Amino acid sequence: MNRLPPAIRRDVPLAPLTTLELGGPARFFCQASTAQDMVWAMRWAAAQALPVFVLGGGSNLVVGDGGFAGLVLQVVARGMEFLPQGDAVLLRAQAGEPWDEVVAAAVGRDLAGIECLSGIPGTAGATPIQNVGAYGQEVADTIRSLRVLDRHTLEVRDLAPADCQFAYRTSRWRRDCEPPIVLSVTFALRPGGRPTVSHKGLAAVLTQRPSLSELRQAVLDVRRKKSMVYDTRNPNQRSAGSFFTNPTVSPAKATEIVAQALRENLVRSAEEVPQYPQPGGGVRLPAAWLVEGAGIRRGLRMGPVGVSSQHALALVHHGGGSTADLIRLAAHVRDAVADRFAITLVPEPVFLGVAWPGSDAGGKL
């Protein structure tokens, strides 16, 4: 393997390709803009007996300090199409299209369905893997189909939403060790539809009948105040967004948390404990509330990493740190919540070349 094909690069740093700016290099690296490019790269990796990791925008990724010993395949296909179909308009976005540009294009055409997902970093192709969601919307609400490349057969297939097994912040593909490579995502949007205003924080700053563009701006403003919009001028910029998902507990456990919060003077009334009943009978609790209730304060520093000064769920790399530093901080936050509330938070990012402490899966190695 001394002479590499022109499309393959060796020892490419991955830190600059992630929003955390942490982690070691990819042993091999290739950019692909077409399905043919991907098939060629997958065949090359198979011939070398190399594992393959597909990289999007790097906004939800934790890379180990040792990097990745296989091929990192970065999907860079761009483009959007708007196709009227009955009462809907189908928006087909190529996998490498920056997600916020997709949302902006939909809102600019007065198409409702993804406006609350404004400001989320990453690429369109990554959104169905995690079932990206925020402020009362998630991509599963509007996804009509996916076009994917099967890693095993190297055939292009179209998948329906039912094939994805969407759930809260996850999908079948998040749980699959070798998920298909997303080529494009098609969303069914509502022309002239009313914006979704189900989040209390948004409702408080909006008029009674906001336009899609007004709601989008409100979401961006709220996210910006929480340092959840990527901005190179922001001291909290190097993060992966919310590091933990919001846990769903039983009604009995939620009642226990309320009683504990009152007993320990975390709140003055039961109504101050945020709870969100779920269709399945559980109750979702905000992880940020649990983190702060466990004594983890915004702005906490542990050397070169810390908790964002604007949002308790965002773990920040301040520069000069390592992934090992970040993992220690994250485990400290997780353990503080477990000790205080007997709830174990689950990390949201994907781990590449590093294990999440205590995980049976051991991370994506």
Q: Which residues are catalytic?
A: 169, 242, 348
CA angle in degrees (0–180, nearest 5) for 342-344-350: 175
Structure tokens at 142: 């509007």
- For residue 11, give the H/E element and its range: strand 9-13
Residue 83 DSSP SS3: strand
Collapse the DSSP code of 133 into the 3-class scheme (helix H, G, I; strand E, B; otherwise coil) and give the result.
strand
| CA–CA dist 180, 245 (Å, integer) | 24
* The one-letter amino acid at 243: F
For the record, the structure tokens of 146 come out as: 């996916």
Rounded Cα distance between 214 and 285, Å, is: 28
Measure Cα distances from 41 to 33, 35, 49, 74, 115 in Å.
11, 10, 12, 11, 35
Are 293 and 336 contacting, i.e. CB atoms less than 8 angstroms apart? no
Residue 178 Rama label (left phi>0; alpha psi -120 to 50; beta)? beta
Counting DSSP H helices and E strands in the chain, the numbers are: 10, 21
User: Rounded CA gap, 28 and 239, in Å?
Assistant: 25
CA proximity to 103, closest of 63, 83, 132? 132
Chain centroid to Cα 228, Å, comes to 12
Q: Which two tokens stand for residue 260?
A: 């504990």
**Cβ-based neighbours of 271, under 8 Å, separated by 6 or more:** none
Q: How far apart are the C-alpha atoms of 115 and 139, rounded to whole Å?
A: 10
User: What is the rounded CA–CA span in Å between residue 293 and residue 143?
Assistant: 36
User: Are residues 235 and 222 in contact, defined by beta-carbon separation less than 8 angstroms?
Assistant: no
